[in-house]
């Protein structure tokens, strides 16, 4: 989910990431009914994205200036912090969380599926494919 100012379409496409951007009024004065419905769905999801980002901000290391000597490993730090946030209590209840159905349908002993493959050299499990 990105806002109007983020120009990362090509990067997302190369990595197979579906980018969601809310519609914006240009020369129109009103959204079409379809655009209004899409904007409402995105706004509901955005609240939860913002809550997840807030959870990242509570890490002491990410609260202030990052020491220069950690710059080389900041990507790894963010991946670990995001992983911890993702493994914490869900923000959404299980009936509203789409990925819950996918995870609960796993039959192997690996019930945790992390898709870090685009960022790390991690093999996919049978459950995640």
Could you read off the pLDDT tens digit of each residue along the chain, which spans 129 residues? 777 777 888 998 899 988 888 877 777 788 888 888 888 888 888 888 888 888 888 888 888 888 899 999 999 999 999 999 888 887 666 555 444 444 444 444 433 444 444 444 334 444 444
2 within 8 A of 8, measured Cβ to Cβ: yes
Alpha helices in 1-32 (DSSP H): 9-15
Is residue 2 in a domain?
Answer: no
In terms of domains, do 119 and 56 share one?
A: no
Is residue 35 in a domain?
Answer: yes
Structural domain of 126: 94-129
Distance of CA 87 to the CA centre of its chain: 13
In terms of domains, do 29 and 71 share one?
A: yes
State the total domains in the chain.
2
Is residue 126 in a domain?
Answer: yes
In terms of domains, do 127 and 74 share one?
A: no
In terms of domains, do 37 and 49 share one?
A: yes
In terms of domains, do 45 and 64 share one?
A: yes
In terms of domains, do 79 and 105 share one?
A: no
Backbone angles phi, psi at 41, to 5 degrees: -65, -45
99: Cβ contacts below 8 Å, ≥ 6 apart: none
In terms of domains, do 122 and 65 share one?
A: no
Is residue 66 in a domain?
Answer: yes
Query: Cα–Cα distance between 47 and 42 in angstroms, integer?
Result: 9
In terms of domains, do 57 and 107 share one?
A: no
In terms of domains, do 38 and 99 share one?
A: no
């Amino acid at each position: 989910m990105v806002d109007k100012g983020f120009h990362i379409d090509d990067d997302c496409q190369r990595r197979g990431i579906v980018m969601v951007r809310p519609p914006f009024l240009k020369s129109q004065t009103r959204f079409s009914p379809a655009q209004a419905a899409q904007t409402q769905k995105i706004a509901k999801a955005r609240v939860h994205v913002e809550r997840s980002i807030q959870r990242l901000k509570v890490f002491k290391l990410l609260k202030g200036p990052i020491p220069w000597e950690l710059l080389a490993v900041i990507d790894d730090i963010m991946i670990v912090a995001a992983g911890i946030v993702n493994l914490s209590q869900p923000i959404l209840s299980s009936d509203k969380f789409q990925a819950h159905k996918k995870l609960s349908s796993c039959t192997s002993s690996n019930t945790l599926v992390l898709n870090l493959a685009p960022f790390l050299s991690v093999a996919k499990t049978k459950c995640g494919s």
